[in-house]
Amino acid sequence: MKKDTLIIVVLILFVCLPIHSYGKKEWPIKKNNVAVMPFGAFTIGSLSFDFTHLVRDRLMDDKFSLISQDTLEAFLVEKRVRRTDFLDRATIREMGMALNADALIIGSVDVLAGGENPRIAMSAQMIDCVESSVVWANSISYTGEDFAGFLGIGKINSLQRLAEIAVRDLLKGLPTEVRVDDGLARPFEIVQASFFPKVLKGGQTTNVSIEVREITGKPKDIKAFVLDTEVVLKTEAGEWYAGTLTAPTIEGVYPLRVYVTNQDNTLFSMDDLAELTVDNTPPEFFVSFRQRLISPNNDGKMDDIMFFPEILKADTIRNWRVEITDEAGTVMRSEESIGSLPGGFIWRGENNKYKRVKDGTYFCRLMLEDKAGNRSVSPKEAIVVDSTPPEVDVVLAAEDDEGITIEVKTKDIDKMGGWELIIYDRKGNEAGKFEGKGDIPTTLNCTLKQNQEGPSLEKEGFLAYSLEISDIAGNRLEREKEPLKPPRPEEPEREPSEKKEVWVEDF
């Protein structure tokens, strides 16, 4: 009997004692007190559409309790919220507390068009005002023809009717309650946390800034850590907390962890509120050229030169500078800017005063600095400026009964591209024609026709030539029937001067 009595007592105690859950505590939050953000008003032809009003009417038909639109708009004006993208977690939570709202509905009308086949596209979301999370979302896209059946029967021609159907279908499935984790319902919110600068070299100092907004209570204590290093924070009025941190020496991305204690000594931890990037590596890049020759004479050929920077390793550029210097190192042309690199650079052979530079060799280099302050300078790249036609000297080197020998000397910064040389006899007839690509030969032989009276060559008149030659920069020289210069006189041999004996003392 005693044994049976003991069993009954144990069972009664088991039933009466409360059951504790050691998991996350959750409770239902009824979504029956709803605020509706403006959806916008539109005018199509003679029709006016207030979609905020249409949405509110539909929610009232579905037995939702709505926050007064005037009350909501007064709150939005006070918080300077002009658009839905101005809403952050803290503002939504404040709205819930100030307006006694359980949920907020936001949305937009993306397409609205009339005509024979009206069109509409809408989207909407429901956001929980306790933890400011999205608990429901939907979107629709309709045309009048979507409702047409056999032979087009049922097609909607009225944009007003299509809009009403769209709002009805958009809000289908809107939940009346969701379950919310009470551990996320903090009495305050971290509105923002940041490092400045947020990218730097290892060992440098950065400023840490944290903004805390009160929702239902003020924090008692707040601590911030990067790895195991605590950031000593100071505050004014308990809203902004600031401190300094010496960045880790090793490259990497370091998250900011924040621990906040409320007045009841409940600890809340928040990770990844901000990230600090340590970068010790200078930018890696190279500069490529399509060509390294420029002929800035406005003839449409090679008047400018293009070169292209390419980043080899992902990096964020803070500023850049490009310089073109002459052989003495004087800067002739430069440009610099803040931010990312342009896709390419163009140089038209001008200096910083937009005057054409002299022919010669110039050097280009690019300097980059990333956001951490690491700097890189490219090797000097040579660029040749040549806007002058080739200098050519054509001379009659020798003449005999067989013909003539011509000596050609050229002078130019660049190589020759193509040439044509025509020799004329003393009567003006074409005696020989030579042409080719690349450099012109230094010596050419040409046979002249003999006269009818004997083997001797015609001595009356003068020998002439025509010449067309261009270098690879496109600079062109043309001469038309100019006399061949006579042979250069041979210089007499000089007798060697007597060397004076010089005595050298041997130490």
* CATH number of the domain that residue 254 is part of: 2.60.40.10
Domain's final residue, options 147, 182, 217: 182
In this structure, what CATH number is given to the domain that contains residue 379?
2.60.40.4070
Q: What is the pLDDT of residue 47?
A: 87
Instruction: Identify whether 171 is part of a domain.
Output: yes
In a domain, 501, yes or no: no
- Half-sphere exposure (CA, 13 Å, Cβ side) for 4? 1
Eight-class DSSP state of 95: H
Domains contained in the chain, number: 4
Residue 452, classed as helix, strand or coil, is coil
**Cα–Cα distance, 229 to 206 (Å, whole number):** 13
Residue 68's pLDDT band, with cuts at 50, 70 and 90, is very high
Residue 167: helix, strand or coil by DSSP?
A: helix
In-domain check, residue 452 = yes
- Whether 501 has a pLDDT exceeding 60, the answer reads no
Section 157-165 average pLDDT: 92
336: its two tokens? 């610099």
What does the pLDDT read at residue 362?
95
Per-residue pLDDT, averaged over 60-79, amounts to 89
CB contact set of 377 (below 8 Å; sequence gap of 6+): 365, 366, 367, 368
* pLDDT for res 95: 87
Check residue 205 and give its pLDDT.
Answer: 95
Tokens of 79: 């918080």
Q: Give me the phi and psi of 300, to 5 degrees please.
A: 85, 0
380 and 397 both lie in a single domain: no
CA-closest candidate to residue 322, choices 280, 361, 290, 368 = 368
- Average confidence (pLDDT) over 447-457: 57
Residue 507 pLDDT: 28
Contact (CB, 8 A) for 230 and 211: no
- Give residue 487's pLDDT: 73
Which residue bears the tokens 């049922």? 154
> Does pLDDT of 75 surpass 70?
yes
Claim to verify: residue 150 and residue 237 sit in the same structural domain = no
Q: What is the pLDDT of residue 3?
A: 42
Q: Is residue 499 part of a domain?
A: no
Report angle CA 411, 414, 419 to the nearest 5 degrees: 70
Among 416, 465, 426, smallest CA distance to 444 is for 465
Q: Are 371 and 321 contained in the same domain?
A: yes
Q: Residue 465 pLDDT more than 60?
A: yes
Highest average pLDDT, of 99-103, 117-121, 411-415, comes from 117-121
The yes-or-no verdict on residue 232 having pLDDT over 80 is yes
Domain boundary among 154, 182, 210: 182
* Res. 97 pLDDT band, cuts 50 70 90: confident
Task: Between 357 and 129, name the one with better pLDDT.
Answer: 357
Is the confidence at residue 236, as pLDDT, over 80? no
> Amino acid identity, residue 221?
D
Same domain, 110 and 236: no
pLDDT of 426 reads 87
CA-wise closest residue to 58 among 168, 218, 158, 186 = 168
pLDDT, residue 5, reads 41
218 confidence band (pLDDT: 50, 70, 90): confident
In this structure, are 191 and 222 located in the same domain? yes
Within a domain: 506: no
Distance, first Cα to last Cα, the chain? 136
Pair (202, 344) in one structural domain: no
**What proportion of the chain, given as a percentage, has pLDDT over 90?**
48
Mean pLDDT along residues 324-349: 93
- Residue 31's pLDDT is 56
| Rounded Cα gap, residues 277 and 250, in angstroms | 10
pLDDT of residue 10: 34
The lowest-confidence range among 28-42, 452-466, 491-505 is 491-505
- Could you tell me if 196 and 260 lie in one domain? yes
The answer to whether residues 317 and 456 belong to one domain is no
Confidence of residue 160 (pLDDT cuts 50, 70, 90): very high
Per the domain annotation, does 381 fall within a domain?
Answer: yes
Q: Of the candidates 151, 182, 213, which is a domain's last residue?
A: 182
- Please compute the mean of the pLDDT values over residues 196-208 and round it to a whole number: 94
Judgement on whether residues 35 and 128 belong to the same structural domain of the protein:
yes
CA-based radius of gyration for the chain: 44
- The pLDDT of residue 143 is 93
Close Cβ partners of 365 (under 8 Å, ≥ 6 residues apart): 322, 323, 325, 377, 378, 379, 380, 381
Same domain, residue pair 360 and 466: no
Q: Which residues of 113-139 are buried (b: 16+ CB within 10 A; e: fewer)?
A: ebeeebbbbbbbbbbbbbbbeebbebe
Bridge partners (DSSP) listed for residue 393: 409
For 448, residues 6+ apart whose C-beta sits below 8 A from its C-beta are 403, 404, 425, 431, 457, 458
> Is the preceding peptide bond at 342 cis, omega within 30 degrees of 0?
no
DSSP state of 274: S
Does 493 reside within a domain?
Answer: no
Residues contacting residue 221 through CB under 8 Å, at least 6 positions apart: 260, 261
Residue 405 in this model has a pLDDT that exceeds 80:
yes
Evaluated on CA atoms 75, 81, 84, 86, the torsion sign reads negative
> Is 288 strand, coil or helix?
strand
For residue 4, the SS3 value is helix
Q: What is the pLDDT of residue 453?
A: 45
Residue with token string 């306790």: 130
3-state secondary structure of 284: coil
Q: CA of 504: how far to CAs of 303, 404, 497, 500, in Å?
A: 61, 54, 21, 12
- The pLDDT tens digits for 125-156 are 998 887 778 889 999 999 999 998 877 788 99
pLDDT at 498 over 80: no
Phi, psi of 11 (to 5 degrees): -65, -40
Residue 457 has pLDDT above 70, yes or no: no
Query: Averaged over 481-495, what is the pLDDT?
Result: 72
Domain span at residue 478?
391-483
pLDDT for position 291 = 87
Q: How far apart are CA 287 and CA 353, in angstroms?
A: 25
Within-domain flag for 201: yes
State the amino acid at position 504 in one-letter form: V
| Contact indicator for 136, 174 with CB cutoff of 8 Å | yes
**Between residues 253 and 91, which one has the greater pLDDT?**
253
Q: Same structural domain for residues 73 and 109?
A: yes
For the chain, the average pLDDT equals 83
To the nearest 10 degrees (0 to 180), the angle between helices 51-61 and 159-170 is 50
- Residue 506, pLDDT > 50, answer no
Distance CA 457, CA 400 (A): 8
Residue 422 CA to residue 432 CA, distance in Å, equals 6
Which residues are registered as beta bridge partners of 385?
294, 360
Residues 172 and 194 in one domain: no
DSSP conformation class of 298: S
